Amino acid sequence: QVQLVESGGGLVQAGGSLRLSCAASGRSFSYYVMGWFRQAPGKEREFVASIIRSGDSTYYTDSVKGRFTISRDNAKNTVYLQMNNLKPEDTAVYYCNAGPSATTRGVFLPVLNWGQGTQVTVSS
């Protein structure tokens, strides 16, 4: 069973930056797409960004385009999310996951058990 461990969250002021990491451990891991989701208080979990195995294609939800950058290191089974110019509305618990395929907009069905997530809090 693959385990996901997210890290890198914290408390920052609006306009600040954070870099999230998600390490996958366990059995051989080579999913086609990896990505990030987030869940704000009182809201459903939503798609944030994804990246295919080669790294050639990345996808973002509209609200983070131009501010967030997703990347992955397949050798380390790790996916990253660089978040710049953070806004209070980015406050949420961030989770990573993976899947065997994605839509043309990069949205995918997560197939792994969710990790504990990492809290990102942006103050105004």
| pLDDT for 1 | 79
Q: For the ranges 34-43, 52-61, 87-96, which has the lowest average pLDDT?
A: 52-61
pLDDT of residue 29 exceeding 90, the answer is no
The pLDDT tens digits for 61-118 are: 999 999 999 999 988 889 999 999 999 999 999 999 999 888 888 889 999 999 999 9
Residues in the chain: 124
pLDDT of residue 2: 85
Beta-carbon contacts of 103 under 8 Å, excluding residues fewer than 6 positions away, are none
